[in-house]
Amino acid sequence: MKTKTIYACQNCGFTAPRWSGKCPSCGEWNTMTEETQVKESAATSRRVLPENRTTTRQKPVLLDEIVQNNEERIMTGIVELDRVLGGGIMRGSITLVGGDPGIGKSTLMLQMCARLSGEQPLYVTGEESLQQIKSRASRLGLDFTGLRVLAETNAEEIVEAMRSPEAGVIIADSIQTMFRPAIESAPGSVAQVRESAALLMQAAKTLHKPVFLVGHVTKEGTIAGPKVLEHIVDTVLQFEGERIYSYRILRAAKNRYGSTNEIGVFEMSEDGLREVSNPSEVFLSQRNAGESGTAVVAAMEGSRPLLVEVQALVTPTSYNVPQRSATGLDYRRLQMILAVLEKRLGLALGKHDVFVNIAGGLRLDDPAVDLGVAAAIVSSFRDVAIQAETVLIGEIGLTGEVRAVVSIEQRVNEAQKLGFTTILLPEANMKRFNKGSTTHLKPAERILQALLSVVGE
C-alpha cells in the first residue's frame, strides 16, 4: 500500500498538499488537519467484498435488456417515517439520518427496529455500550424481540456482520465513529467518514440490504464530514426541531426513491417519539384567538397542508436602526414584506421594531404564508385583532398584488375540517371553486383589499 500525507478541511472536505490556516474552499479558519491517504492494492480492496462478488470486468448492456426489480418496500410501521421515505424502505438502499444532538435520531432508529422485528434488524452502536442501549430500549417500553445489537466501530467488521443471514436492516450509529484500519487518520476525520460510508454503501448494494447511517451535524446545521457523504447515500433525512419544544420534524433533503417535499411530524415524550397524525390541530391547540398580532396561515409541506399560527410584535424602537427578527421564517422574506407594507400601504414601520414568530418551532418556506405574516404585522401595528375563525392564504408580490398559490383545494379543505369559516385567498385561485360553495371564501387581488377585510382601516 502506498501512503501520502495530505491536509483536509474538517468542514467541507477540501484537500491540499500543504497546510494553511484558512481553508481555500469554505473560508473557515483552523480546519485543515493532517491525514494519511492510503492507496490499497487490489488484493486488499477485495477482502472486504462479499465472498460471492465477481472480479470480472463489467460490460455495457442495453437499457431495454435490463430486468427491472419491482420489489415491495419494507414498511417500517411508523407512518410518518414511511411517508418521508416515499412509501417505505427500499432494499439495498443507504439512508443518512442527521440532526442536532439530543433531537431523537437514535430513539427514532430504535423505535423503527421494534417495528421491524420480522426483518431481523441489526443495530450497530459506536457511541454507546450494549448496556446503555438496553437501558434506553427498556425506557421505550417496546417489544424488541429479534433485534440484535453490536458494539463495533471497525467498518470492515460491520460489513462482515452484514453478511450474516441474521442481519436484515442495518443501523450504524454513528458514521462519525466508524473507521477503516488501513487509514491512519482518527475516526471522524474526512477520510475516515468518506471511506467508511463508501464501504458500507458498497456492501448495501452488493448484499441487497438496507443500511441507515446516523450522522452528526455542525453548528451551522449541516451534516458533519465531507459533502461527498450526502452524494454517496440514496436518501438524506434531516431531523429538525428545537429541544425546548416537544415537536420534531423529519424532512428528506434528498431522496432517490421518493419526493423531497414530504415531512413527518413527531412529538417527543417520556416514552419516546409519538406520531402526530393531525399536525394542524396540534399546532393551533394553544392559539390565543382574539389577540392582536396573530394570524392563521395554511402552508403546504409536501402533499400535507398545515395550519399554523403566525405571531407578530411591532413596537416603537429605542435604537437608531430598528430591529428585525424572524423565527421560523426567512429573514429576507420578512424584509420584503415590510418593504411592500411601507411602499404600498404607507405604514411607517421604519421607526418600529418588528418581531415575527412561527408558533410551535416550525420553519415555513412556503410563500403562501406572506399574506398571513403581513396581516399579523398590521394587526400588531394597529393593535386590532383579526377575526378568530379566519385563515389567510396568498403570496405577496412587490407591486402589492396577491398572487395565486398551488394546492389551494387542500389548504381550504384543511381549514374547513378544523372549523374555520372565513378563508381569505387570491382572486386568481377562485376559479378552482364553485360559486355555490358554503365556505365563506373572500377573494383579494391587492394586499390593501385583503388587509382591509380582516384588519380594517
Which CATH number fits the domain that encloses residue 298?
3.30.230.10
Whether residue 59 lies inside any domain: the answer is: no
Q: Identify the pLDDT of residue 455.
A: 82
Is the pLDDT score of 224 beyond 70? no
15 and 86 fall within a common domain: no
Task: Identify whether residues 82 and 112 lie together within a single domain.
Answer: yes
Q: Which of 282, 310, 296 is nearest to 393 (CA)?
A: 296
**3-state DSSP helix/strand/coil % of the chain, to nearest 5:** 30, 30, 40
Name which residue leads in pLDDT, 396 or 291.
Answer: 396
- Percentage, residues of the chain above pLDDT 90: 54
Would the pLDDT of 297 be above 80?
yes
Percent of the chain clearing pLDDT 70 (strictly above) = 90
| Enclosing domain of residue 140 | 74-275
Question: pTM for the full model?
Answer: 0.76
Q: Are residues 288 and 265 in the same domain?
A: no
Residue 52 falls inside a structural domain: no
For the chain, report the end-to-end CA distance as a whole number of angstroms.
78
For residues 196-225, average pLDDT: 86
Place of cell 428545537: 242
Q: Which of 158-167, 338-347, 437-446 has the lowest mean pLDDT?
A: 437-446
Q: What is the mean pLDDT of residues 382-386?
A: 93
User: Could you tell me if residue 55 is inside a domain?
Assistant: no
Residue 457 predicted with pLDDT over 80: no
Q: Which range (155-169, 171-185, 278-292, 295-309) has the least confidence?
A: 278-292
pLDDT band at 447 (very low <50, low <70, confident <90, very high): very high
- Measured CA to CA, the distance from residue 149 to residue 58 in angstroms comes to 36
Which band of pLDDT confidence, cut at 50, 70 and 90, is reported for residue 43?
Answer: very low
The CA dihedral of 449, 451, 456, 457, to the nearest 10 degrees, is -70
Residue 347 resides in a domain: yes
- Cβ atoms of 6 and 16 within 8 Å: the answer is yes
51-81, pLDDT tens digit by residue? 444 445 778 989 888 877 667 889 999 999 9
Query: At which of 275, 296, 312 does a domain end?
Result: 275
344 lies in the same domain as 315: yes
pLDDT digits (tens, 9 = 90+) for 115-126: 998 899 999 999
Instruction: Render pLDDT for 175-209 as a digit per residue (tens, 0 to 9).
Output: 999 999 988 788 888 888 889 999 999 999 999 99
Kind plus residue range of the DSSP H or E element containing 254: strand 247-255
**Are the C-beta atoms of residues 147 and 123 closer than 8 Å to each other?**
yes
C-alpha pair distances (Å), 279 with each of 126, 357, 408: 34, 18, 18
Looking at the structure, do residues 229 and 149 belong to the same domain, yes or no?
yes
Nearest to 359 by CA among 291, 414, 424: 291
- The chain-wide mean pLDDT, for the chain, equals 87
- Domain match, 187 and 230 both: yes
pLDDT in tens, 250-286: 999 899 998 888 889 999 888 899 998 888 888 887 8
- 29, part of any domain: yes
Q: How confident is the model at residue 42 (pLDDT cuts 50, 70, 90)?
A: very low
- The pLDDT tens digits of the residues spanning 24-36 come to 888 888 888 877 6
C-alpha cell at 132: 446503555
- The residue among 275, 290, 312 that closes a domain is 275
Distance in angstroms (rounded) separating the CA atoms of residues 410 and 412: 6
SS3 10: coil
Does position 434 have pLDDT exceeding 90, yes or no? Answer: no
Look at 32 and 312; give whichever has higher pLDDT.
Answer: 312
Buried b (16+ CB within 10 A) or exposed e, 252-282: beebebbeeebbbbbbbeeebbeebeebbeb
**The domain boundary residue, chosen from 275, 306, 321:** 275
The CATH number covering residue 160 comes to 3.40.50.300
Is residue 357 classed as helix, strand or coil in its secondary structure? strand
Query: Could you tell me which of 90, 87, 88, 109 has the C-alpha nearest to residue 98?
Result: 109
Q: Which residue has the higher pLDDT, 11 or 185?
A: 185
Task: Quote the pLDDT of residue 243.
Answer: 63
What value does the CA radius of gyration of the chain take, rounded to a whole number of Å?
Answer: 26
Residues 184, 146 share a domain = yes
Is residue 421 assigned to a domain? yes
Q: What angle do CA 162, 163, 169 make, to 5 degrees?
A: 40
One-letter identity of residue 454: V
Residues 79 and 35 both lie in one domain: no
Residues 270 and 297 in one domain: no
Q: State mean pLDDT over 311-331.
A: 93
Tally of structural domains, the chain = 3
**Contact (CB, 8 A) for 230 and 95:** no
15-24, 210-219, 331-340, 440-449, range with greatest mean pLDDT: 331-340
* DSSP at 225: S
What pLDDT is attached to residue 263?
87
> Rounded distance, CA 265 to CA 164, Å?
34
Q: Do 259 and 330 belong to one domain?
A: no
Using the predicted structure, report yes or no on whether residue 365 has a pLDDT greater than 70: yes
Closest CA to 98 of 106, 90, 86, 88: 106
DSSP category for residue 296? E
**pLDDT in the model for residue 44:** 47
Does a structural domain hold residue 61?
Answer: no
- Whether the Cβ atoms of residue 367 and residue 361 lie closer than 8 Å to each other: no
What are the cell numbers at 127?
457511541
Please report whether residue 239 resides in a domain: yes
Both 126 and 189 in one domain: the answer is: yes
Residue 377 has pLDDT above 80, yes or no: yes
pLDDT at 161: 95
Better pLDDT: 171 or 455 = 171
Shared domain check, 163 and 143: yes
